[in-house]
Structure 1
Amino acid sequence: MLFFKKNKAQDDPVLCAPVTGKMIKLEDVPDPVFSSGTMGKGVGFQPSDGTVCAPCDGKIVMLAETLHAFGMETADGAEILVHIGLDTVDLNGEGFTKLASEGKKVRRGAPVISVDLDLMKEKGIVMTTPLVVTNSDGFDLQIHGCTDVTAGQTEVITCIKK
């Protein structure tokens, strides 16, 4: 009799870019809260498009009232934060449109928030968008070597549960 072992690697959550644009190292994000790793390990992005997507399959567990950030949880318990731009909380939601709801399960690549990039540029907002695993101490993160990324398609981080 043969016993088949499930391939664990297939179960590890893989995070995709939440935006289309360029990926940068987290330490290159021009905000010490993120670049220092205080919020968790991850990467940053310079978006070229205003659609921000779910980076993985999971549940939207937090959608900021000001729509500048959202949090997700994967089936494996990885807690993901996407923070859209820097100091965007000060806009009180101006320039952001909600495309998904808190508490909903979504598939990777599903649009969550739309951003008016022209307005952000006009207001001098730095649109660097960090993607961090806030409970990264419970995971080994494998960051993929990417530069140009496509929202919901380009795989950027594999989260291997410790």
Structure 2
Amino acid sequence: MLEKLFGKKSTEEQLVAPLNGKVVSLDEVDDPVFSQRMMGDGVAIEPADGKVVSPVKGEIVQIFPTNHAVGIKTKSGIEVLVHIGLETVSMEGEGFEGHVKTGDKVEAGDLLITFDPELVREKAKSTITPVIITNFDDAVETFEPSYTDSANSGETTIATLKTK
């Protein structure tokens, strides 16, 4: 009843690392779409391997045909995009394997995509992987990133946020 009168209740969400590796600011991503936060805010990971897991519990709302990116929506409405590497769409799926499909329910830590980091280094601009909240302005009240040199996929918290 109170939610109807005063709007949706704010909830806290945590994003866990979708990859093993170093968590850095989006400012360090050599692509203005991400570094200037045109798609939303978040963090980036310099991956140590080629295994991508879900950073949140939610539903797969988009898996790109090339398997280089995946979108997940949480129950509270946060939309998270994991975009593997920079300019990887030009690889047309080579070296990427998707393990989920649109509509799948996932838990934080569930396997989403595997990829060949060496092939990405060879054929794309970078392996750095932005983790973006695409509806940031509409959905996020507070955002606290956690930068670390050694995040463990599915375990290390990379950001804590409160929804609006």
Does structure 2 conserve the Cα–Cα contact (< 8 Å) formed by 1:78 and 1:159?
Answer: no
CA distance in 2, matches of 1:152, 1:23: 13
2:13 counterpart residue number: 13
1:152 counterpart residue number: 154
- The 5 Å alignment of 1:5-84 reads 11-84=11-84
Q: Amino acid of the residue matched to residue 76 of structure 1?
A: S
Q: Residue by residue, what CA displacement relative to the aligned partner does 1:24-63 show, whole Å, maximum 9, x if unpaired?
A: 1011111100000111010011001100110010001000
Q: Residue by residue, what CA displacement relative to the aligned partner does 1:47-101 show, whole Å, maximum 9, x if unpaired?
A: 0110011001000100001111110100110010110000000011000011112
Query: Secondary structure, in 3 states, of the residue corresponding to 2:148?
Result: coil
1:133 counterpart residue number: 133
Gaps of 5+ in 2: 1-8
Query: Secondary structure, in 3 states, of the residue corresponding to 2:44?
Result: strand
Aligned length: 154
TM-score by length of 1: 0.90
2:3 counterpart residue number: none
* Percent of residue pairs identical: 40
| Alpha-carbon offset, residue 124 of structure 1 | 5.0
1:123 counterpart residue number: 123
TM-score by length of 2: 0.89
| Alpha-carbon offset, residue 146 of structure 1 | 2.4
Does structure 2 conserve the Cα–Cα contact (< 8 Å) formed by 1:12 and 1:76?
Answer: no
Query: Secondary structure, in 3 states, of the residue corresponding to 1:112?
Result: strand
Deviates more, 1:126-135 or 1:139-148: 139-148
CA distance in 1, matches of 2:146, 2:35: 18
Query: Secondary structure, in 3 states, of the residue corresponding to 2:120?
Result: helix
Does structure 1 conserve the Cα–Cα contact (< 8 Å) formed by 2:55 and 2:108?
Answer: yes
Query: Secondary structure, in 3 states, of the residue corresponding to 2:154?
Result: coil
| Alpha-carbon offset, residue 159 of structure 1 | 2.1
Does structure 2 conserve the Cα–Cα contact (< 8 Å) formed by 1:144 and 1:156?
Answer: yes
User: Which contiguous aligned blocks of 4+ residues in structure 1 show a shift greater than 4 angstroms?
Assistant: none
Query: Secondary structure, in 3 states, of the residue corresponding to 2:12?
Result: coil
Q: Amino acid of the residue matched to residue 144 of structure 2?
A: Q
